[in-house]
Structure 1
Amino acid sequence: MDRLLRYLRVFNKGIAGTALVASGTLVAIITIVVAAGVFWRYVLNDSLSWTEELARYLLIWLAAVGSIVAMHRRQHIAIDILPDMVTGLGGRAIRLLIALVIILTCAVMTYFGWILAWNAWGQTASSFYLPLFYTTAAIPVATTGFLLMAIEQALDVICGEELHSGEAV
C-alpha cells in the first residue's frame, strides 16, 4: 500500500506540475488574445470577431487546469471544523469518508463529463470552426485530476500519513 501511495504521489506531482505550466501558458495566451482584441478594436477600428469567444474558452480551461493544482496543494475551499475537532481514529474516519465522497463525485463527473464532451463534438464555436468538444473536455480532464488527487488523499488517511488542507504536499 505504501509503495502504491509513493507512486501515486510522484504521478500526481507530475500532473500538478504539468497543470501549473499549462496554467501559466493559458494566462499568457489569454493575455495575448485579449490584448489583440483591444488593439484591433480601439487602435485599428476593426474588431476581431473571435477574440472574446476564444478568451472565454481558454478561461474555462484555465479554471479547470488551475483547480487541479489547487487540489494537489490542498488549497481548495474546505470546511475543516469537524475533521479538525475530532482527533484520532474518528478524525481519520471522517477524512476518509470525505475523500471517498470526493472520489465518488469525481468518478461520476468524469464519466458524464466525457459523455457531454463527445456529444458536443458535432457543435462548433460560433465565431470560428472549433468543435465544442475541446471546450467541454475541460470538465472530465479536471475531474480526472481531482479523482487521482482524492485517491492519494484517501490512501494518505489509510496509511496514516494524512495532511490537513492547506499543507504542502
Structure 2
Amino acid sequence: MTHAFKWLEGLCRLLILAAFLVLSGSVLLQVFARTFLSTAPVWTEELTRFCLIYIGALGAGLALRSGDMVNVDLLCENLPGHGPRLLRLLSAVLTAGFALTLLPAAWAYTVVGQRQTAPSLGWRMDFIHISMLVLFLTLALWALVRVFEMLTGRHDGRPIPNSEEL
C-alpha cells in the first residue's frame, strides 16, 4: 500500500510540475507578446488561471501529507500530555470528513461544466471543474492516510521535515 501512495504522490508532483511549466510558458508568451508584438493572445490569461487552479487542487493534498498546511501550533503543541496528538488526529479526521462530504457537490459542479465552455480557449469547463473533485479526493485520501498512520503508530501527525530543515 505504501508503494501505491508513493506512486500517487509522485504523480501529483509531476502534474503540478506540468501545470507550473504550462503556466510559466503562458506568462512568458503573454509578456513577450505585450512587449514586442502589436497584440497579445487573450487565451494566455485564461490558461494561466486554469493552471493555478490545478496547482492548488493537486498541491493541497500534498501539503496536508507533508504537514505544510497552516497549523495552530501555538495552541496545539503547548497542551499537556497527549493533547497535541489528539488534536492533530481530530484535525485529520475532520479534514477527511469535510472533504468526503463535499465530493457530491464537486461532482455536481463538474457535471454542470459539460454544458459550458471557456470563453477564449473554447474548452469544456468540466475539464476545469473536475479540479475540485481532484482537490477533495486527494485531500480526503491524504487525511485518511494520516489518520491511519497515526492510529497504527507509524506517524505522530507532526509535519515531515524537508531535507533542508534536517
> TM-score if structure 1 supplies the norm length?
0.84
User: What are structure 1's unaligned runs of at least 5 residues?
Assistant: 1-6
Instruction: Spell out structure 1 runs of 4+ moving beyond 6 A.
Output: none
- 2:43 maps to 50
Moved more, 62-71 or 98-107: 62-71
CA shift for structure 1 position 89:
4.8
Other-structure match for 1:18: 11
Greater RCO, CA 8 A, separation 6+: 1
Cα RMSD (Å) of the superposition? 2.0
The alpha-carbon distance between structure 1 residues 47 and 95, as it changes in their structure 2 partners (threshold 3 A), is closer
Q: State how far apart, in whole Å, the 2-side matches of 1:94 and 1:77 are.
A: 14
- CA deviation profile, 1:5-31 (whole Å, cap 9, x unmatched): xx1x43222222111111111111111
Matched-pair contact (CA < 8 Å) for 1:84–1:91: yes
Residue from 53, 63, 66 that aligns with 1:73: 66
Q: Is 1:142 matched up with 2:135?
A: yes
Cα 1:15/1:137, change in 2 over 3 Å: same
User: What is the distance in 2 between the residues matched to 1:11 and 1:82?
Assistant: 34
Q: Is the 8 A contact 1:109 1:143 kept in 2?
A: yes
Aligned residues: 162
* Cα distance in structure 1, aligned partners of 2:154 and 2:106: 31
Q: Provide the rounded CA distance (Å) in 2 between the counterparts of 1:94 and 1:116.
A: 32
Residue matched to 1:166: 159
Percent identical residues: 22
Structure 2: distance between partners of 1:82 and 1:10: 35
Q: Does 1:59 align with 2:47?
A: no
